[in-house]
Amino acid sequence: MEVVILPDQAAIAAVAADAIEDLVRRKPNAVLGLATGSSPLGVYDELARRHHTGSLSFADVHGFALDEYVGLPVGHPESYREVIRREFTNRIDIHPDNVHGPDGAAEDIPAACAAFEQAIREAGGVDLQLLGVGTDGHIGFNEPGSSLASRTRIKSLIDQTRKDNARFFDSIDEVPHHVVTQGLGTIMDARHVVLIATGAQKARAVHDFVEGPVAAICAASVLQMHPHTTVLIDEAAASGLKLADYYRHTYANKPAWQGI
C-alpha cells in the first residue's frame, strides 16, 4: 500500500487522473471501476477536462460501477447509475453500452449479482478501481463486519452510512436501507486500486485501514493485502497517521520509473 499525502483535493484529483490517463494510453480498452460519492468527483472533472481538450479518449474503455441502491426506480437522479452518467460518462466519449452497474431493481437480486460478476470476468477484470472510504472504513457498501472474501451481493446499510448519504436526498427517510455492492473479494481482484480520502472526518478511518489491523470491523483494511493500492489523502485526512512523515519522505523520493 502506497500512501500519498497531497496538499488539497485538486492535487489529489490530478494524481488520480494521471494514473487513469496513463492506463488508458497504454491500454485503450482498459476496464475502470467507477465509484460514486463526493470523493471521486474532482477526478471525473479532471478526466472530462482532459477529454474535452482532445488529448484523451475513452472510446474503447469499459466501466463498472461499484454499487447501487435497492428500491430506487430506474432513472432516479440519485441512483448510482444516473450519478455515474451525470458526473462522468455523459461527459466523455465512452460508449453507453460499455458502462455497467449492479442491478438494484432486479426481481432476482442474487442472479443479477452473479451476472454482474460474470460481466466483469468477461471484460477481462478491472484494471483500475477508484474508491472512496466511509467514516466507518467501508469501501463500496461493504459495511463493518463484511466478509473480506465477499463477492457482489445485497447489503443492509448501517444508520451512519444512511446519515452520511442523506445529503444527496431531501431527507434521510428517502435513503434506501439496502444496496447491491461489489464485495471486498471483487474489489481485491482489481489490478490497481486508487482510494481517495479528504477531510478531518476521514482521519480515523484512514488511520484504521492504513495502520490498524486487517479486520472485518474496518472493511478497507483488506487493502493492506492488495499488491497495488494507492491511497491519496490530504493533510487533514492524514492527521491521525503515525507514519505520516515516512509516507511524505517516500513519495518525495520515489523513483520516476515506478509510476503511480
Strand-strand pairing, 153-156 and 31-34: unpaired
Asked if 136 is an active-site residue, the reply is: yes
Give the C-alpha separation, 188 to 154, whole Å. Answer: 18
User: Residue 150's pLDDT is what?
Assistant: 98
- Residue 234: pLDDT band (50, 70, 90) is very high
Give the C-alpha separation, 173 to 162, whole Å. Answer: 9
Strand partners, 130: 194
Q: Is the pLDDT of residue 251 over 90?
A: yes
Give the C-alpha separation, 209 to 137, whole Å. Answer: 7
- Cβ atoms of 32 and 62 closer than 8 Å: yes
For 254, which DSSP code? Answer: -
Q: Which of 45-59, 156-170, 190-204 comes out lowest in average pLDDT?
A: 156-170
Among the options 136, 164, 189, 234, which is catalytic? 136
Segment (H or E) for 252: helix 244-252
Asked if 97 is an active-site residue, the reply is: no
Q: How far is CA 45 from CA 1, 39, 40, in A?
A: 26, 12, 9
Among the options 67, 68, 164, 189, which is catalytic? 67
User: Residue 73's pLDDT is what?
Assistant: 86
Q: Is the pLDDT of residue 258 over 90?
A: no
Among the options 68, 103, 127, 143, which is catalytic? 143
pLDDT tens digits, residue range 166-198? 988 999 999 999 999 999 999 999 999 999 999
Give the C-alpha separation, 60 to 79, whole Å. Answer: 25
User: Residue 24's pLDDT is what?
Assistant: 98
pLDDT tens digits, residue range 58-103? 999 999 999 999 989 888 989 999 999 999 999 999 999 999 999 9
pLDDT tens digits, residue range 99-133? 999 999 999 999 999 999 999 999 999 999 999 99
Among the options 62, 76, 100, 138, which is catalytic? 138
- Cβ atoms of 144 and 158 closer than 8 Å: yes
The Cα angle at residue 147 between residues 146 and 149, in degrees rounded to 5:
140
User: Residue 117's pLDDT is what?
Assistant: 98
Q: What DSSP letter does each residue of 4-18 carry, written as one string?
A: EEESSHHHHHHHHHH
Of 212, 149, 131, nearest to 186 (Cα)?
149
